[in-house]
């Protein structure tokens, strides 16, 4: 099974999933983050980055305006990308995401703006469920990520 659903009843649950993801990341990892505006893609990515940077790191800015934000964790380079404001798909080539993936892990919001995605990748889709603001994450592991999915299970 290369799919996994994880309930995210509150923001803390989103942060715990992000922390588990952050702990798992390796160079060459491509993670796509899908879902409506406000679903929690950035919250998840920030939690992953924070888990890897260590507690001393207070501020993890959002890449909404810069498109690309790079974080140097002690043992991993993490590049967080938000392509919502990428107007033309051609412009994606200038972002240097191929190099970022060679050197570290890539977390990409609005991955559909890229066109082609790597075959080895983790797709995370977040959607709202019910009335109270709860979310659910749906994870799909492609290629080598299929076997790594279960490590993201709620403990």
Q: Which residues bind ligand ADP (CB under 6 A)?
A: 8, 10-11, 13-14, 35, 37-43, 109, 133-135
- Which residue's CB is nearer to Mg ion, number 14 or number 42? 42
Rounded CA gap, 57 and 1, in Å? Answer: 36
46 binds Mg ion (CB under 5 A): no
Stretch that binds Mg ion, among 11-19, 49-57, 65-73, 107-115 (CB under 5 A): 107-115
Cβ at position 49, least distance to Mg ion in Å: 13
Cβ at position 100, least distance to Mg ion in Å: 18
113 binds Mg ion (CB under 5 A): no
In the shown chain, the binding pattern of residues 115 to 134 toward Mg ion, with x for contact by CB under 5 A and - for none, equals --------------------
- Which residue's CB is nearer to Mg ion, number 109 or number 123? 109
Cβ at position 62, least distance to ligand ADP in Å: 7
Residue 149: how many other CB atoms lie within 10 Å: 17
- Which residue's CB is nearer to ligand ADP, number 40 or number 141? 40
Cβ atoms of 63 and 80 within 8 Å: the answer is yes
- Which residue's CB is nearer to ligand ADP, number 29 or number 109? 109
Cβ atoms of 104 and 120 within 8 Å: the answer is no
């Amino acid at each position: 099974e290369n799919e996994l659903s994880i309930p995210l009843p509150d923001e803390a649950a989103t942060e715990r999933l992000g922390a588990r993801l952050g702990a798992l990341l390796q160079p060459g990892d491509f993670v796509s983050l899908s879902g409506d505006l406000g679903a929690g893609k950035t919250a998840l990515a920030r939690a992953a980055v924070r888990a890897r940077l260590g507690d001393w790191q207070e501020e993890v800015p959002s890449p909404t305006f810069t498109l690309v934000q790079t974080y140097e964790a002690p043992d991993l380079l993490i590049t967080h990308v938000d392509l919502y404001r990428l107007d033309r798909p051609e412009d994606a080539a200038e972002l240097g995401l191929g190099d970022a993936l060679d050197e570290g892990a890539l977390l990409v919001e609005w991955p559909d703006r890229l066109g082609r995605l790597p075959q080895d990748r983790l797709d995370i889709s977040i959607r709202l469920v019910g009335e109270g603001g709860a979310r659910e994450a749906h994870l799909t592991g492609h290629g080598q990520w299929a076997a790594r999915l279960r490590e993201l299970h709620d403990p």
